[in-house]
Amino acid sequence: MVHFRREKYVPRGGPDGGDGGRGGDVILEVRPTLNTLSNFRHTTRYRAEDGKGGGSQNRYGRGADDLLIHVPPGTVVYDTENDEFLGDLTAPGQQLMVCKGGRGGRGNTHFKSSINQVPRTAESGEPGEEKRLRLELKLIADIGIVGVPNAGKSTLLSVLTNAKPKIAPYPFTTLEPNLGVASLDEETSIVLADIPGLIEGASQGAGLGHEFLRHVTRTRVLIHLLDGMGEDPIGDYNQINSELALFDPHLAKKPQVVVVNKADQPEVQERWPSLKAKLKKQKVIPMLISALARSGVRELLQEAAARLAETPQLEDIDEIMPVYRPKEEDPRDFKIVQIPEGWRIESKAIERAAKMTPWDQTGSVRRFQKLMERLGVDEGLRKAGAQVGDSVFIGDFELEYQE
């Protein structure tokens, strides 16, 4: 403020304009009761208040309150202008100042001097910061439940915890991940996340998979739930693992507890010996449960907790990799090279998928063939001049080209 007080023998009474108050900061704060970023769909612009102007008699203006914006745990913040990483918000109550409010301008009191006894100068407030942010949510859960749609993941979560996810007998009932807390005893509790169903092609964005595969990255152990009533549970198991590996190799290395669900159905009881034998061939010891009848779920929770105890804490991982950044490796970026023995497909993602395909199972071979068609490998071989009967090498595997 520019103001002068009235005082005898003081020119113009003397300057007494006060300073303005500071502008409010914009702060992101973790609220543990939130689990989505849906609020930001409706409100996309946030502005902290300005500070109040200064007054006479050197009275300072009131500083503005900071603007607190609540976000769920697991929110990662980027500046969209330069894609700079600003923060990873994980702990309840953790705060991140994303825009600093400007300081208040100085009143004319600050500009008086022996040669300028009547200063008519004051400052405007310092402009505050303005940023455009990108928020990404990565759930903080100890254990993630993965599987194809309708495998019973939401039912299992509701049985193991007090979570109340929407449950219905149609695909993609779960449209967003659900969190629940399971208590093993008075001192031990674990957080579980029901990840929406993954389908073939999820690693390339099909269905709901592409964005929700990111949520799996923050879990330490996976419960791989198989639908015992499904048409091909073993094929579903291999498909999900292939999609995890195609999205990022780190996901395929996470410890898994493989579970066949719906043991309350007679058909599943009949199929169980065959399913168990096939999974054991892949060096997997499966469990049989019924989430609906609550049969075997306690044993499943104890087994998952035991795996969790053997897995490094996220804090240890985050020291090496503060923010999960999947490698930009597109499975469609492959090379077809002609060699004396035939043709070689060069792609780490496709080689991972080939390694995870049980070649003694016709269903898994068909899924791999569909993957090759979807990625354009078949068309690429035709254009390159491959003939029926030519050998095609993918990693350590030799296949025969057929139209």
Domain ranges within the chain, ordered by starting residue: 1-137, 143-320, 335-400
**pLDDT greater than 50 at residue 317:** no
How far apart are alpha carbons 67 and 87 in whole angstroms? 18
How far apart are alpha carbons 41 and 103 in whole angstroms? 31
Residue with tokens 């063939």: 369
Tens of pLDDT, residues 10-49: 666 788 889 999 999 999 999 877 766 777 878 889 999 9
The verdict on domain 143-320 having CATH code 3.40.50.300 is yes
Residue with tokens 């930001």: 40
pLDDT of 203 reads 41
Residue with tokens 């609020």: 39
For the four alpha carbons of 33, 37, 39 and 40, in that order, the dihedral sign comes to: positive
Stated length of the chain: 403
pLDDT of 52 reads 92
What does pTM read for this prediction?
0.50
Nearest Cα neighbor of 369 from 210, 128, 377 is: 377
Q: Is there a contact between 213 and 251 (Cβ–Cβ < 8 Å)? A: yes
Tens of pLDDT, residues 255-285: 889 999 988 899 989 999 998 998 888 888 8
From residue 126, alpha-carbon distances to 51, 97, 103 in Å are 10, 17, 5
**pLDDT greater than 50 at residue 175:** no
Q: What's the maximum distance between 2 C-alpha atoms anywhere in the chain? A: 109
**pLDDT greater than 70 at residue 136:** yes
User: Which CATH architecture is the domain 1-137 placed in?
Assistant: Distorted Sandwich (2.70)
Nearest Cα neighbor of 36 from 146, 216, 196, 176 is: 176
pLDDT of 10 reads 67
In 240-334, beta strands by DSSP E: 256-261, 287-288
What residues contact 181, with CB distance under 8 A and at least 6 apart? Answer: 161, 162, 189, 190, 191, 192
Tens of pLDDT, residues 67-104: 999 998 888 899 998 888 888 888 888 999 999 998 88
Q: Is there a contact between 29 and 91 (Cβ–Cβ < 8 Å)? A: no
From residue 396, alpha-carbon distances to 154, 350, 354, 367, 399 in Å are 39, 12, 9, 19, 10
Superfamily grouping for domain 335-400? GTP-binding protein OBG, C-terminal domain (3.30.300.350)
Domains 1-137 and 335-400 share a fold: no
